[in-house]
Structure 1
Amino acid sequence: MENLNQTSSGRFYLLGLSNVLYLQGICFCVFLIMYLMTLLGNFLLIILVRINSKLQTPMYFFLSNLSMIDICFSSTIVPKILMNTLSKDRSISLVGCAIQMYFHMALGAAECIILAVMAYDRFAAICRPLHYQTIINMKMCILLASISWGVGFITASVHVPLTFQLPFCKSHHVNHFFCEMPPFLRLSCKDTRPNEIAITVTAQFITLCSFFLTLISYIHIISNVFKIRSSQGREKAFSTCASHLTVVSMFYGTIIFMYMKPRTADKTVSIIYTVVTPMINPIIYSIRNKDVKDTIKMKLSSL
């Protein structure tokens, strides 16, 4: 009878991170600070690219796309976490949950692909410098960015409706802090193996293809960097690559762990790629990027 009542209510109940009062306060403060840093860092990076003509290159075009994805990605999740952390009512409507899951999956897939595109851009710049302007022109930049966003939203358009066609008759209490697909599979009384297989195949296709494209690009990049005679040129190339590899390792690693085995989903892993990574991406790229730091110094000195 309880399950029937929960099913008919059309709402889910997010159990969140903790039920301990003082831990809820700590979680709220930490997530709020991280979210504000995410917005500030990524918006600042987008604005710097817009106002400095030196930064209006394919690399920064893709970096601006990454920042926009991170802003949307984090905004899909964190505001609801903040509301639920201090609220006694942690319920979310069926439609609200579906929308959150849809944008979370779409933006996550888009980020996977845009990271691979950024690796290809670095490959073209370092390994094919004489043909770089021809290979990565503005039309190609727009096309690659559009493919990244498009594949993400198409992927979500397939998996989210399939997930919400399942009967959630075990419970409507979700042992998670937002509407993510793997925890929902545990709530269904129907065999979810077809959904799990579909998710795993999609994750393998998008994440592993993106990862291997990135890996192959960097194998060629590193072999070419060692051929650069100038130590300053090698240092600049390695600096750019190190920033990107740091971001790639964190994001791909957590995504692979989360979606290759949907039933073993972990809250900590979700926090890393939904909250931590969007916050540190602009920091990593800014700290290691001389052009970005010079633009910040120039604008601060002009105030």
Structure 2
Amino acid sequence: MPATRKTPENVPGTGDPDRKRVLNVLAQRRYRQRRREKMAALEAQNKGRCVELVSEESAQCAPGLTATWSDSSLEDPIAETNNAQQIHTFGLPMVDFGGDLLDMQLLEDFNNSCSPSSQSSSSDAITHSNPIQTTTPPPNLTFPLTADGAQLDIPVLSAMRAAMNISTALGLADIVWDPNYMHTFPTSTPLDNLPPNLHPTPAQLTIPHHPFLDALPWPSIREKLICMLAMPSGLRPPVARDDEPGSMGQGLAVLQLTTHLDDYRDGIRVHGNMVGWGDSSEMVEEAWEIGECFFRNWWWCIDEGAVRITNMRRRERGLRPLRMKG
């Protein structure tokens, strides 16, 4: 017995177990009908665009050959066949969506258009392309890249900047990079605009030493380092010795000193800047904090004031005081 076609009139009543199944069949049928209507409308739209492109191309390539298209011809099956033949003559494939395989709901956001093809292909297919979009260059990067980038703390960077500012103020920026350079502090250096802790000590004025020691903000540490490095290498602490036991050079000792001061894990920190006054200036010793690496290896030249200031700064960050052992 042939199956009865489901229509709204044949829907079972409420409470019938087949009612839900029949409603699903009708809903699917309505969905397919709407999809076919959308496909037909889109096919007609694309066909009209292809006709316009062919007309423009024929007018440009052969001015003497003109083709006129009317809306009535699109409704005539014979006219549509002639149009299709002329479109293939210019290399334009026909639009064929091939049944219900495509869900046109996915293509509503695309701009479908036919474009003439200059090369022949083995299979006829239509090319859907969006309008040509100009590529804009990426914006120039500005630093800091994020809004909170200016708040990132890089201790080594701030310490290097402060040390170079002090070296520049003392007139040592050109010679501080030579590890083998030796001098006594020049008496001609103006000291009026420098804080008292940067004024030279007696050892700086009389004993030859490396200019990097003059840029340290602690007078007592500068005095002890200059006096210790003026001794023969064999009499110095192991961390401050040179290659040869009797050598008077200071190059390797200065290199080791800068390595321990600028340790990336726990090196010196500066809590000041160039525009501050008093304790907030990066040139005063109260703004400097030593690290554990420098403390463990050069403890013999560090005074109590530097340790006290450092432990205060470390407590503010929630760290333990300086210790000789890890």
The TM tier, using the shorter chain, reads under 0.3
Q: TM-score, normalised by structure 1?
A: 0.26
Q: Which of 1 and 2 has greater Rg?
A: 2
Q: What TM-score, normalized to structure 2? A: 0.24
Higher helix share goes to which structure? Answer: 1
